[in-house]
Structure 1
Amino acid sequence: MEAYKRWVRRNKEYVHSLESLANGMTWLLPERFSESEIVPEAVTSILGIVTAVNDHIIETTPSQGHPKPQEPSSFPYSLFLTLMKDVETLVEVMAQHFYGDDGKWNFMAVTEATKVLARLALLRNSGYKMLLQGGESINDGKDPNDTNQPQARGRLLQQGRNGNFTPEGRALSAMSRFGENARMINNSTGFHMVVPHNINNPAIIQLPESDIKRPTLLSFLSDKGLPGGLMLMGEIMFIARPLLYVLLIRKYGPRSWLPWFISLTIDLMGMSSSTMLLTRHFDRKLHLSDSEKDELRRRKLLLALYLMRDPCFGKYTRQRLESTEKMLEPVPVVGFLAAKLIELLVGAQTRYTYMSGS
């Protein structure tokens, strides 16, 4: 395993390219979006797990004799959530195959409940910082591009300290992360690095982030006041919304408007609570990093997925897609590509996990 870790760390660009190629080719497997999709989806899940493990190895690459801490906790919640994202579609396909369209929602509820518990634990262990990419990226609370910070200055003085890349999502599963860059740079280090006055001195004082005392809920709310309460309320709504959505679908069915409206309402309320932090009045009390502002933009873009969820898709979106396909059909090449894209969208829409936004 140690030899494999060294190989991955030395050839990370090659590994990323190979993983992207393999993940893209899974969409060419036969019987995609058919009744016998278990085997193709299992292949895709295995590739996703390998990708997540490789990224975890790269992110924990030791630097200058010091290991990079992974998270502010002993359990790798970010890796766990990434693995959950990789296997949840396989769980849905198998549940639908063996238990039917109605029975699969029990398994989806268990999956979403597991992610809720992991995200709540990560939220607590991170000191109630905003979750990035649903908890799959570690939020160090710093602006990676801010060269005025000691940590950033320390990175500029060191060669070979590269950013960590999140894995490129598969073609349509990326819709569940709508607005996410295919390969975002996440410069999350676990050390507060102080650059000495004499830059010729190679010694760098490093304080492990794990030694920093994490605030409790009461101390966080007491310190951050109303802005902290609004941020926390927005995070809890963002975390709990998918589970409530699945439970409502399980009770009322996917064709009912009630789960759709309640889910949208929770998202809008949570979004309003979080975006209030961008005002100048609140920004003085709770400063948001660039990565946190990008996360708020990503969550706004996720609202577009409501157009792809039933019953809105069946009553409105699908008709618009079909009319667009007919309009572009006479155009050479463009008509063919549009038809294939719409066919892929319609097929992906049948999977809850592709459109869940969780």
Structure 2
Amino acid sequence: MEAYKRWVRRNKDYVHSMESLANGLTWLLPERFSDSEIGPEAVTSFFGIITAINEHIIETTPTQRVTGQAETSSFPYSLCITLLKDLETLVEVAAQQFYGDDRKWNFIAATEAIKVLVRLAMIKNSGYKMLLRGGETVYVEKGLDAVNYSKQRHGELVDPRSHNLKNHFQQTPWNLEGKALSALSRFGENARMVSERTWLSRVQHQHAIMEPPTLMVEKPSLSAFLSEKGVPGGLFVMGEVMFVIRPLLYVLLIRKYGTRSWFPWVMSLGVDLIGNGILSAVAVSRNSRKGPLFYLSNDERDELKRRKLLWALYLMRDPFFTKYTRKRLDHTRKLLEPVPVFGFFAEKLIELLVGAQTRYTYMSGS
């Protein structure tokens, strides 16, 4: 196993290329979306699992580990989530073939329940941070993000513009204020260096060489987090939990009411809208004395945008797909059918979309 890890890490570009090619070719397998064929989905799941394991090996290369990483536990939560997502489609197809369309939802619900438990554990392990890509990406504190979060936890005012002030004055030498502040800064630094004792400087230098400065972000417990953040903190956790449990709730409602009912579709959309709305509102809420109560990193802001983009999948879920989207796709296919080349590719693309829509896991957004 160690030899395989070394090979993957040395040839990561080649591994990525082969994985992309293999995963792309799986969409062209015959009877990919057949009701009775497990083989194509087994092949797809196999390549997905191999890709996930290789990515995990590359990301855990000892020389690439990043200080302040949230996932310090030995249990690979992100890898577990990715493997579950790769296996979920195979579980769905196998359950449909052996147990029928109705009973397959029991197995899908069990898979979603396991994903919920892993994601909740991952939220707790990360210190109640936002899940990135549903937990497939490990949250990492980066530079200014970690500093701001640390200051925020100790009640200091965080101004996202403050770190640019020094650069601003340095980059505008013709600015009189810049010249003055730059001169004062240099004078203060020189005075401090002269006043320092020589032996202390040497000790500090030796420590800096032997032990590079690291930024350790403390992970609060749930009670400490709620005590520190108050009601907004509770709302933040509730919004994240709603995002986690939404797929399981959706499957359980489909299991009870069926895919033709509007109730699961509306309830799932409602949970998504409310949960995302809570996260967005809490993230920009302000305290009159301490500024923003929650600092969102660039990755977290991108994650909120990604979750909003996932709402487009509701167009591909029944009963909306059967009643509206399918008609639009058929109309588009008829319009483009006489056009050379474009008509052929449009027909194949629509065929893939219609086939993928029959699989819950492809349109679940979980």
Tell me how far 1:275 sits from its aligned partner.
Answer: 1.2
1:258-290 Cα distance to aligned partner (Å, 9 max, x none): 100111110000010011134262771110000
Q: Could you tell me how far apart the structure 2 residues matched to 1:50 and 1:255 are? A: 36
State the Cα RMSD in Å: 2.8
TM norm structure 1: 0.80
Change (3 A) 1:92 1:337: same
Q: Is the aligned partner of 1:305 residue 2:313?
A: yes
Q: Is the 8 A contact 1:59 1:68 kept in 2?
A: no
Counterpart of 1:233?
Answer: 238
Aligned to 2:193: none
> Between the two proteins, what is the percent identity of the paired residues?
65
Structure 1 equivalent of residue 153 of structure 2: none
Residue 321, structure 1, aligned to residue 329, structure 2 = yes
- Between 28-37 and 137-146, the greater mean CA deviation after superposition: 137-146
Residues 291-332 of structure 1 deviation map (CA, whole Å, 9 limit, x = unaligned): 000000000001010010000000001001111111122222
SS at 1:63's partner residue?
helix
Whichever residue aligns with residue 97 of structure 1, its letter is Q
Aligned residue number for residue 102 of structure 1: 102
**Which residue pairs with 1:270 in the alignment?**
275
Please tell me the residue identity of whatever aligns with 2:334: K
State the partner residue of 1:339: 347
C-alpha contact (below 8 Å) 1:95/1:104 kept by paired residues? yes
Give the letter for the 1:62 counterpart. P
Flag the 1:21–1:202 CA change in 2: closer, same or farther, 3 A: farther
Listed as ranges, the gaps of 5+ residues in structure 1 are: 150-195
How far is the alpha carbon of 1:63 from its aligned partner? 1.4
Cα shift at 1:141:
3.7
The alpha-carbon distance between structure 1 residues 66 and 254, as it changes in their structure 2 partners (threshold 3 A), is closer
1:220 equivalenced with 2:228 (yes/no):
no
Structure number with larger C-alpha Rg: 2
Q: Which residue number in structure 2 is paired with residue 30 of structure 1? A: 30
Partners of 1:145 and 1:36 in 2: CA distance: 50
SS at match of 2:326: helix
In structure 1, the residue matched to 2:50 is: 50
Preserved CA contact (<8 Å) 1:224 1:285? yes
Cα deviations by residue, 1:192-231 (Å, 9 ceiling, x for unpaired): xxxx9979x764525595xx65211111112123332222
Partners in 1 of 2:283 and 2:69 — Cα distance? Answer: 30
- Which structure 2 residue ranges, 5 or more long, are not aligned? 150-202
1:1-358 mapped onto 2 (5 Å cutoff): 1-63=1-63, 71-142=71-142, 203-205=210-212, 207=214, 213-279=218-284, 281=286, 284-358=292-366
Which amino acid in 2 is paired with 1:83? Answer: L
- Preserved CA contact (<8 Å) 1:60 1:68: no
For 1:225 and 1:122, the matched residues in 2 are separated by 22
Q: Give the stretch that moved more between structures: 35-44 or 258-267.
A: 35-44
Q: Is the 8 A contact 2:67 2:214 kept in 1?
A: no
Aligned length: 310
- Report SS of the residue matched to 2:63: coil
Give the secondary structure class of the aligned counterpart of 2:286. Answer: helix
Query: 1:115-155: per-residue Cα shift (whole Å, max 9, x none)?
Result: 00000111111110000010111112436999999xxxxxx
Question: Within 1, Cα distance between the matches of 2:310 and 2:61?
Answer: 32
Question: Residues 280 and 248 (structure 1 numbering): CA distance in 2 closer, same or farther, change over 3 Å?
Answer: closer
Compared CA separation, residues 217 and 66, structure 1 to 2 (3 A): closer
